[in-house]
Amino acid sequence: MTESRLEALPLREELKGQSPYGAPQIDVPAMLNVNETTYDVPADVIDAIAKEVRGAAETLNRYPDREFTTLRQKLAGHLNAETGLELSAEQIWAGNGSNEVMQHILQAFAGPGRSVMSFPPTYSMYPLYARGVYSDYIAGTRGPGYTQDPEDVAAQIREHRPNVVILCSPNNPTGTALDLSVVEAAYAAVEESETMLVVDEAYGEFRQPGTPSALSLLESRPRLIVTRTMSKAFALAGGRLGYLAAAPEVTDALRLVRLPYHLSAVTQAAACAALDHAENLMANVERIKTQRDRIVSELTTMGLQPYPSDANFVFFGGLEDARAAWQHLLDDGILVRDVGIEGHLRVTAGTEEETTSFLTSLQAYLQHR
């Protein structure tokens, strides 16, 4: 950014001196820093998307379906197939990435004079969403090993009485999924004040067996919202499609703040085609989970401290100089994430080859430092 010229603008006070979200986008052989699926989009899915988008192109003189009805039906069907629930299209909302979905939630339920709470270290965008809607941000605390305990989470919510609480499960950057008892305890606490509870399940599809989704708690909990995205397990980060499931009245609330026709005909067509090929697109999830578990076990053997992961990435500590390790990996063509926690890095589980090059490079770094 051109700092001096920016300073000359009559910018909102709270934006002065701030930095935008900026995970590096560096074109290297192994891009393992933003938790995308690194496998290519399968050829038949590319063809199906191209066909649907071509059909949409014929209608581009008209505004798209403002209610994205077909897409909502397909998203409900997709979640029902995963969970065995019977969610209806009225319970589904979507946006250009779960980032936009989250912004809609905060526009409706937070805003000026209100507050948003999450529990760092967690997704770095939460305080930025809060800032963007003129809300106060409250940083809750975690227990040892970045864990969250039901009584403690509920007590912090009762103490601060925020308007929106965001739990991230599996959590970015630590990778751990929450036990449903934490979500239940948080819900009991939000019911006592003017609060909505959001569970961000961007990485939900990568959970270890036996960790259920918070979607199973939606029934009779009208203040609970579960967000998902097609950017991770679905291998569609470039398609920009995030979504949520909640009570139908929540989607009515979000309709009040969304911009008209926020999901383009092209986005709707691409997402619908991808959902028709969900099984094929998600075929790599098991392979990614295998590489994730391999990373955890091999980093442990190297004497590092990886955290248990329910996501498509691994957060690990035990480095004397995380920045030097990050640079060594980058010099070898491997981009991982420095999340600003001393001695720690986060790496996305990619293909077997990418994982091998990451582990080999890190091993060499540890031996020669």
Residues that bind ligand PMP (CB under 6 A): 34-35, 97-99, 123, 168, 172, 200, 202, 229, 231, 237, 242
Judge contact between 354 and 295, C-beta under 8 A.
no
**Closest to ligand PMP by CB, 94 or 299:** 94
Judge contact between 105 and 125, C-beta under 8 A.
no
**Closest to ligand PMP by CB, 128 or 155:** 128
Q: Name the minimum Å distance from CB 241 to ligand PMP.
A: 7
Q: DSSP E strands: which ranges in the chain?
A: 30-31, 92-95, 115-118, 136-139, 164-168, 196-200, 224-229, 242-245, 305-306, 313-317, 334-335, 345-348
For residue 170, say if its preceding peptide bond is cis, omega within 30 degrees of 0: yes
**Closest to ligand PMP by CB, 328 or 337:** 337
Q: Name the minimum Å distance from CB 98 to ligand PMP.
A: 3
**Closest to ligand PMP by CB, 148 or 229:** 229
Q: Name the minimum Å distance from CB 13 to ligand PMP.
A: 27
- Closest residue to ligand PMP using C-beta atoms: 97
Q: 37, exposed or middle or buried, with CB in 10 Å at 0-12, 13-18, 19+?
A: buried
- Phi and psi at 59, nearest 5°, equal -110, 10
**Closest to ligand PMP by CB, 109 or 123:** 123
Q: Name the minimum Å distance from CB 178 to ligand PMP.
A: 13
Judge contact between 264 and 253, C-beta under 8 A.
no
188/182 Cα distance (integer angstroms): 10
Q: Name the minimum Å distance from CB 350 to ligand PMP.
A: 15
CB neighbours (10 Å) of residue 334?
A: 24
**Closest to ligand PMP by CB, 129 or 358:** 129
Judge contact between 124 and 21, C-beta under 8 A.
yes
173/262 Cα distance (integer angstroms): 29
**Closest to ligand PMP by CB, 34 or 366:** 34
Q: Name the minimum Å distance from CB 150 to ligand PMP.
A: 21
Q: Name the minimum Å distance from CB 166 to ligand PMP.
A: 9
